[in-house]
A and B are shown apart, each in its own frame.
Chain A
Amino acid sequence: MFKMFKIALRNLFRYKRRTILTTSLITFGVAFVLVFVSVTASFKSMMIGEITDSMLGHIQIHKRGYVASLDNLPLNLNLAPQAFKKVEEALTGIPEVETWSPRIKFGGVFSNFIDSTNIRLNAVDPDREWATVPLLSSRIISGDKTVKPGEILVPELLAKGMKVKVGDTAVVVATNEDGSVNGYQFTVSGILRSVTGPGGRDGYIHIEDGRRILRLEEAAVSEVAIRLESFDALRHVVARLEETLGKEKNAQGQPAFEIHDWTKLSPFYNIVRMIDVMTFSIRLMLIAVVLISIMNVMIMAVYERTREIGTIAAIGTLPGRILSLFVIEGLSLGVLGAISGTVLGGLAVMALNIFKIRFNFGRQQGLILNSGLDPADVLIVGLIVVVISVLACLQPAHRASKLDPIKALHQV
């Protein structure tokens, strides 16, 4: 086998220019795919991290029907205290759950005594909320990094529009479930940077203030946001929760709860899907590049070396061995391209990290990608190249193995 690889490599470097051109093509293809996959994966994980760690949490649990009416923030679809207790019991029994935060979500009117505007509010227990969405505190661009009773965190755009700053007084007016209106005065304790996605422009108050405005006598909540020990456990935990909470039925005999991971709650998931489709397309392009370039080289090799094939066939080389010689040649070309492409891709990713390329996404500006080559991606791309290289040379190799030695020997 070693001899066959040696012969294959010598044959490849017999036509140096052609081999270098083909290897370069595969190298650049592999490097491009690896850089693309690495950058998009880092973009995806950064954005998913932003979305889940600064507002959504990894998973949310609601009363059945809440998410379908999410835009209205329906108070009549809050989780009753007994239901919330059952959720807490279920979460306590799952070791992969790191923490969770109950939220009351409602819409109201925000007034600075001169102007007023609509506001969406999250009433939260700050300790639990900050633990569930740890990037929330980094979104507070001025003021306190928490929210106490009587304080409000105001979204940046609203603060700018209403000319509100930290320390100002404002009033929030809200309608409760029964339709009665109630107002409450707050001190602006901080300004929140906007982020892309649902909830990215919400204000925050303490959960006790939320209950007071909405006159909730019971400890009802709109949703429970959950943070996991590891993001990889997402599907497993969703399945466990569905199994545990799925047993709870409402009066209509339907499941009382609905459990959603971030993919069901954020439109960014559609962008993620689009990125995945683009990655798949890029991989298809790489396959085409490898297939066409290696097939072309091997067809030429068989054509140019017909007499040589006739000679080795005449002296008794079996057709299978002739086929192997050409397959090994194509395989070597693919392996060379895959290795050099991985090295080049790795260097390109390193360069991206050194030069810290900044980009904007939605309302977020100056994001810096921190890319890295995932060994799994390197393995997949490498395997694609190797498998396609072998497939690409099968036809020419088969043709070589089937050549009639007499005709081959007389080829000029």
Chain B
Amino acid sequence: MDLVVAENITKDYVNGKVSVRALDDVSFTVDAGSFVSFVGPSGSGKTTLLNLIGCLDRPTSGRIQVAGAEISNLDRRDGALFRGKNLGFIFQDFNLVPVLTVYENVEYPLVMVHGVDRRRRKRKVMELVEAVGMKAERDKYPDQLSGGQKQRVAVARALVTEPKLVLADEPTANLDSHTAGIIIELMRSMRDALGATFIFSTHDMRIVAAADVIYTLRDGMLTETAHRAVVNEGGPNV
């Protein structure tokens, strides 16, 4: 079943009299529960595409459906509501709230976005904190954690609301290769455990290798699509 359907998406950025086309007539689908990578060189439109799927931006033309909802024209408030209900985000720089502990960072979306009661919150947060291996550090603040630990917390925060789709923009870019491998494995295991769909924008070949589907973008156009079988035979030309 298609969780994401993008049809003929175009995104232009206008700066004064100059218009730059970041995405040009991009169409694709993403199956529910899959692990999908968008790869391509810098400026190819990966982050723009993730922003559009994540309701953070609107396409200039074309349609995007996520979880059966048309999201191309959601206003600011509806976009936030949709994100809170359906999406999880993992950022390259982790973006944890510095004044909150590990526990509180994971708890944050449940309190501020979903308004879940305390008992359910505690159960849910502890489940996720334990699942990402951060139980012992739950009372630590982000500045007391390593990069890999921060990204584990970010993964837990993205998954705590049981989103249908998790968007991860270069999630391993700021991690050493060993830690990056652990995070990728963590995300895969979480996908398997929770059934969430993961979409990445990445340069990391380990993520690409772990992906079910790889979409390659070049100059804003979708140039190549590869499925796991193809990947295993040599991978796309990233």
A316 and B109 contact, CB distance less than 8 A: yes
Which residues on B are within 8 Å of A, measured CB to CB?
51, 54, 56-57, 76-77, 80-85, 87-89, 91, 93, 95, 97-100, 108-109, 111-113, 157-158
Residues in chain B near residue A273, CB distance under 8 A: none
Contact B109 A314 (CB under 8 A): no
Show 25 A/B contacts (Cβ-Cβ < 8 Å), sorted by A.
A3-B111, A10-B100, A11-B99, A14-B98, A14-B99, A307-B93, A308-B97, A311-B89, A311-B91, A311-B95, A312-B97, A314-B54, A314-B56, A314-B83, A315-B108, A315-B157, A316-B80, A316-B87, A316-B109, A317-B84, A317-B113, A318-B84, A319-B76, A319-B77, A406-B57
Is A384 at the interface (CB under 8 A from chain B)? Answer: no
Chain B residues with CB under 8 Å of A317's CB are: 80, 84, 112-113
Q: Would you give the shortest CB distance from B166 to chain A, in whole angstroms? A: 11
User: Considering the chains assembled together, what is the distance between the CA atoms of A319 and B81 in angstroms?
Assistant: 10
A59-74 CB contacts (< 8 Å) to partner B: none
Tell me the minimal C-beta distance from B142 to chain A in angstroms.
11
A316 touches B83 (CB 8 A): yes
Interface residues of A in 1-28 (CB under 8 A from B): 3, 7, 10-11, 14
Q: Which of chain A's residues have a CB closer than 8 A to the CB of B57?
A: 406
For the complex, is A39 an interface residue (Cβ under 8 Å from B)?
Answer: no
Is A368's beta carbon under 8 Å from chain B? no
**Contact of A203 with B by CB under 8 A:** no
- From B84, B85, B157, name the one whose CB has the most chain A CB atoms within 10 angstroms: B84
Once the chains are docked, how many angstroms separate the CA of A311 from the CA of B84? Answer: 12
Per-position binary interface string of chain A over residues 379-412, scored 1 when its CB falls under 8 Å from any chain B CB and 0 otherwise: 0000000000000000000000000011001000
Chain A hits for B109, CB < 8 A = 315-316
Distance in Å: Cβ of A77 to nearest Cβ of chain B: 76
Known: A321-B112, A406-B57. A313 touches B80 (CB 8 A): yes
Tell me, in angstroms, the Cα distance from A240 to B88 when the chains sit together: 73
Residues of B within 8 A of A319 (CB): 76-77, 80
Q: Which residues of B contact A405 (CB under 8 A)?
A: 56
- Known pairs A316-B85, A321-B112; list 9 more (Cβ under 8 Å): A7-B97, A7-B100, A14-B99, A315-B109, A316-B80, A316-B83, A316-B84, A318-B84, A406-B51
Q: How far is the CB of B163 from chain A (nearest CB, A)?
A: 9
Interface residue tally for chain A (C-beta within 8 Å): 21
Are A409's CB and B91's CB within 8 A?
A: yes
Residues of A within 8 A of B108 (CB): 312, 315
A residues 294-315 near B (Cβ < 8 Å) are 307-308, 310-315
Q: Which residues of A contact B97 (CB under 8 A)?
A: 7, 308, 311-312
**Given A319-B80, A406-B51, A406-B57, is A312 in contact with B98 using a C-beta cutoff of 8 Å?**
no
Secondary structure of the A side of the interface?
helix
Chain B residue at minimal CB-CB distance from A314: B89
Note all chain A residues with C-beta closer than 8 A to B80: 313, 316-319
Q: Which residues of A contact B98 (CB under 8 A)?
A: 14, 308
Residues of A within 8 A of B77 (CB): 318-319
Nearest CB of A to B99, in Å: 4
- The answer on a CB contact under 8 Å between A318 and B100 is no
- CB of A215 to closest CB in B, whole Å: 89
Q: Which of A7, A11, A308, A316 has the most CB of B within 10 A?
A: A316
Residues on the B chain within 8 Å of A321, using CB:
112
The 8 closest A-B pairs by CB, nearest first: A316-B84, A10-B99, A311-B95, A316-B83, A316-B113, A405-B56, A3-B111, A318-B80
Shortest C-beta distance, A297 to chain B (Å), equals 15
Chain A residues 363-380 with CB under 8 Å of chain B are none
Q: Which residue of A lies closest to B51 (CB)?
A: A406
- Bound-complex Cα distance A311 to B90 (A): 10
**What's the least CB distance linking A110 to chain B, in Å?**
80
Closest Cβ–Cβ distance, residue A275 to chain B (whole Å): 46
A315 touches B89 (CB 8 A): yes
**A317–B85 CA distance with the chains assembled, in angstroms:** 11
Whether the Cβ atoms of B56 and A315 lie closer than 8 Å is no
Contact of A409 among B82, B84, B87, B95 (CB under 8 A): B95
Contact B111 A315 (CB under 8 A): no
Within residues 82 to 100 of chain A, which ones have a CB less than 8 A from any CB in chain B?
A: none
Given contacts A406-B56, A409-B91, contact A315 B100 (CB under 8 A): no
Q: Which residues of A contact B51 (CB under 8 A)?
A: 406
Query: Using Cβ atoms and an 8 Å threshold, which residues of chain A touch B99?
Result: 7, 10-11, 14
Q: How far is the CA of A301 from the CA of B190 in the complex (A)?
A: 35
Chain B, residue nearest A307 (CB): B95
What A residues does B83 contact at CB under 8 A? 314-316
Determine whether the beta carbon of A315 is less than 8 Å from that of B84.
yes
| CB of A266 to closest CB in B, whole Å | 59
B residues in contact with A406, CB < 8 Å: 51, 56-57
Q: Which of B51, B80, B82, B89 has the most CB of A within 10 A?
A: B80
